[in-house]
Structure 1
Amino acid sequence: MRAPLDRLRHALSFELIALLLIVPLGALVFHVPAHDIGLVGLVGATLATLWNMGYNVLFDLALRRFTGTTRKSPLARLLHAALFEAGLLVVLLPFIAWYLVISLWQALVMDLSLAVFYLLYALGFNWAYDRLFPLPEWQAAAQTP
């Protein structure tokens, strides 16, 4: 499993890169001022970072219990990303509706759009992160026949 500092590096780099992408894209797509998307993004990133750290520990513990390793198959990566986004959706929906003064339906559409972006982004980011910072246990498992 990953060390706490590695998890912190993962969570912070994930959110920082996402914010750099989502603020200009969100302002363009949703026709909302960049500072509003920026604040929604910052609150979302803060909540997501906290959720990310706890969620990843729980997911890795469950994955190791059920499969014997924390190495993620493509299906496990998809499940990992989808469950993460579902948990975040529940928390962010009321905030988005309140802050942007929009209906829950509009907030749901916006939040689902952001969730699709983040789902694809999470798949790519986590794959790249695992390639850049592989765990020793994965290398040992790959060498075992």
Structure 2
Amino acid sequence: MQGISRKIAQAILYEAIAACCVAPTLSIAYHRDLAYSGALSLAIALIAMLWNMAFNATFEWWESTRADRTRTVWRRILHSTGFEGGLTLILVPLVSWWLNITWFDALVVDVGLFVFFFLYSFAFQWAFDSLFDVPNSANEA
């Protein structure tokens, strides 16, 4: 699977699985009902999905310009760090407002989410590539 269909499938699967993990965790951690936490989780998922498509398009463009286009462990770490680091910067204001907490507390929440999503992103992307093959940008020219 390549091109836009790969990007759409990747983003939807990634965010659907993530939302199923994040909503119950936020509900328990902030003593909110599942609908309230689920709505925040969906908002995060929608923002993340848009970020996912934009970041992956940029990353794959960059990857295609490299002499060695192999997806090494270090390249996967760079991918996960860039994606999750950018998303953390985007989500701090939303989490702060939604949960009515300070930006610092929202940053702490996002750092916790970052740790989870860093590992999740690394594992998900590796599994996705195993199931659907790597994108053309990671194949030798």
Alignment of 1:16-55 (within 5 A): 16-55=16-55
Partner of 1:97: 96
CA RMSD of aligned residues (A): 2.3
User: What is the alpha-carbon distance in structure 2 between the residues aligned to residue 78 and residue 95 of structure 1?
Assistant: 26
Gaps of 5+ in 2: none
Deviation at 1:34, TM superposition (A): 2.4
User: What is the alpha-carbon distance in structure 2 between the residues aligned to residue 67 and residue 32 of structure 1?
Assistant: 50
Against the structure 1 CA distance between its residues 2 and 136, is the aligned structure 2 distance closer, same or farther, given a 3 Å change threshold? closer
Partner of 1:131: 130
Deviations along 1:14-47, whole A, 9 cap, x unmatched? 0001111121123234444322321221111101
Question: Could you tell me whether the CA contact under 8 Å between 1:23 and 1:34 is conserved in 2?
Answer: yes
Partner of 1:73: 72
The TM-score, its normalising length taken from structure 2, stands at 0.88
The 4+ residue runs of structure 1 with deviation greater than 6 A are none
Q: Which has the larger radius of gyration?
A: 1
Partner of 1:60: 60
The TM-score, its normalising length taken from structure 1, stands at 0.86
Question: Could you tell me whether the CA contact under 8 Å between 1:27 and 1:34 is conserved in 2?
Answer: yes
- Bigger relative contact order, structure 1 or 2 (CA pairs below 8 A, ≥6 apart): 2
Partner of 1:118: 117
Deviation at 1:137, TM superposition (A): 5.7
